Amino acid sequence: MSKLKQSLSTYSALPFIYGLSILPHFILYRISDLLYFLLYHVFKYRLKVIYTNLKNSFPEKSEEEILKIQKDFYKNLMDVIVETVKEFTLSAKAMKKRFRFTNPELFQKHFDNGKSVMMLMGHYNNWEYGVSTPLWVPQECWAVYGKLHNREMDKWIVRTREKYGMTLFPMDKTYDVMLNHTQGDKLYMFMADQSPHFGSIKYWLKFLNQETGVHIGAEKLSKMLDLAVVFIDIQRVKRGYYEITAQTLFEDAKNSGDKEITDRYFAVLEEVIRKTPANWLWSHKRWKYKREATN
């Protein structure tokens, strides 16, 4: 798409997105309910992928339980979508009420000890609101993201996500950015639970009852920079409100064993997912590659 076409498509979409964003939450949730009905009952969006992922992850669950999780997943995903749209016009004050860290003192402790932090999370509940982390912690906050092909839309999305104080950098610049900006106490936000590209899988582990190829970049960078490694658990208190509890996995990454950070991250993430399975991103083709195919 030419730059002119990208600009035209972006600026034609902006009024619509902002129009939705200024709507009160109770109206947005009615839209979410409608989207749930359309995507689940009418369009059956990735229905087979979601069902297969759930069935393989929870072989001990009955068919009725699997179908219940599947339906609840669609409801959760639609809420995340409308809440992300609302984020475009959500003030910092309103965001702090809706995305609340229960123990920000944990980050203060690492800051006082002069430790930068690798904050790991999953695509669980409203992970998008993680960009508001700077409202709660003393560290300078950075986050990796996937660039959009539409350059104009990419600029606009980055500007919106950075409004709470987060600095975003594209995935392909991760090592350059982190290894060349080491001054001061920083917090790096990573989500490492999606599938790596076929040729990038360097490590396999058992996750949700399946052999799973995983990213190890967060571990490598944590060790190279000797970061403290923290995991955050995002739980929905009620519709539109979340509580985030942090736990330190490793005080000093350099003292951890080989793949120990990666193993611990996925073990803790699995514990979280098993509490309320519907809240994870099951529509992702997480297990599209098999171990024998990469040997």
Total Cβ atoms within 10 A of residue 39: 18
The pLDDT value recorded for residue 7 is 52
Q: Which structure tokens are listed for 17? A: 């997105």
| Residue in 73, 120, 112 with CA at minimum distance from that of residue 249 | 120
Per DSSP, what are the bridge partners of residue 99? 242
* Residues with pLDDT less than 50, the chain: 1, 4, 8, 294
Longest dimension (CA), the chain: 54
Strands (E) across 160-223 are located at: 167-170, 186-191, 203-207, 210-214
The pLDDT value recorded for residue 157 is 84
CA–CA distance, 188 with 178 (Å, rounded to integer): 9
Could you read off the pLDDT of 182-201 as tens digits, one per residue? 888 999 999 999 999 888 89
Percent of all residues in the chain with a pLDDT value above 70, rounded to a whole number = 95
Question: Cα dist. 94→90, 99, 199, 219 in Å?
Answer: 6, 9, 42, 34
Total Cβ atoms within 10 A of residue 222: 27
Could you read off the pLDDT of 90-113 as tens digits, one per residue? 999 999 999 999 999 999 999 999
Task: Look up the pTM and report it.
Answer: 0.93
